């Protein structure tokens, strides 16, 4: 029971006190927004990253309209990606989240939402940057 409790405390902690809930200004050029949904249950997750000049994720916020496991997964993801490069963040697998949070198989798609959301945020950020003129890219 002690071991089981230790597992469960992790997910309960992210569920009861989710980290980094909120929003970043969507139109800022250094912000990428990922918005994804789970067809199975209709839950929706928004995850936003702010990227500094070194290409490092300096801030992360999320809003999840979904089950406890989806909220815990996004909370975990925000802590996990802060300080990472975009390439590193894009490689995080939902299986890692599921393992860390002790999600049962039926809740795997909840952690998948977090993986989809960070990838979608990275894509949005990159698309935004590639549409900028060179002077805007330089932050002018
Ligand atoms: Fe551990 Fe639900 S609290 S899987
Ligand atoms: Fe669908 Fe958790 S995201 S039940």
Give tens-digit pLDDT for 71-126: 999 999 999 999 999 999 999 999 999 999 889 999 999 999 999 999 999 999 99
State whether the beta carbon of 104 lies less than 6 angstroms from ligand 1.
Answer: yes
58 falls within a domain:
yes
pLDDT at 84: 98
Rounded to whole angstroms, the Cα distance separating 57 from 53 reads 10
Tokens linked to 21: 């809930």
| Range(s) of the domain holding residue 30 | 2-131
Residue 117, domain CATH: 3.90.1010.10
CB 34 within 8 A of CB 117: yes
pLDDT at 1: 45
139 falls within a domain:
no
Rounded to whole angstroms, the Cα distance separating 8 from 50 reads 31
120 falls within a domain:
yes
pLDDT range class, residue 138, cuts 50, 70, 90: low
Q: What pLDDT digit, counting tens, does each position of 15-30 carry? A: 788 999 999 999 999 9
Strands 31-37 and 44-51: antiparallel
Pocket of ligand 2 (CB under 6 A): 38, 40-41, 43, 66-67, 69-70, 107, 109-110, 113
12 falls within a domain:
yes
Does residue 110 carry a catalytic annotation?
yes
Rounded to whole angstroms, the Cα distance separating 114 from 135 reads 33
What ipTM was assigned to the predicted interfaces of this complex?
0.63
138 falls within a domain:
no
């Amino acid at each position: 029971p002690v071991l089981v409790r230790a597992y469960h405390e992790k997910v309960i902690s992210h569920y009861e006190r989710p980290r980094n809930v909120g929003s970043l200004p969507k139109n800022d050029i250094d912000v990428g927004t990922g918005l994804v949904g789970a067809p199975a249950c209709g839950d929706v997750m928004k995850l936003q990253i702010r990227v500094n000049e070194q290409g490092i994720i300096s801030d992360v916020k999320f809003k999840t309209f979904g089950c406890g496991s989806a909220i815990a997964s996004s909370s975990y993801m925000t802590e996990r990606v802060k300080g990472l490069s975009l390439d590193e963040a894009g490689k995080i697998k939902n299986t890692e989240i599921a393992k860390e949070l002790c999600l049962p198989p039926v809740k795997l798609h909840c952690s998948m939402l977090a993986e989809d959301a960070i990838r979608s945020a990275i894509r949005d950020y990159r698309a935004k940057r590639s549409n900028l003129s060179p002077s805007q890219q330089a932050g002018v």
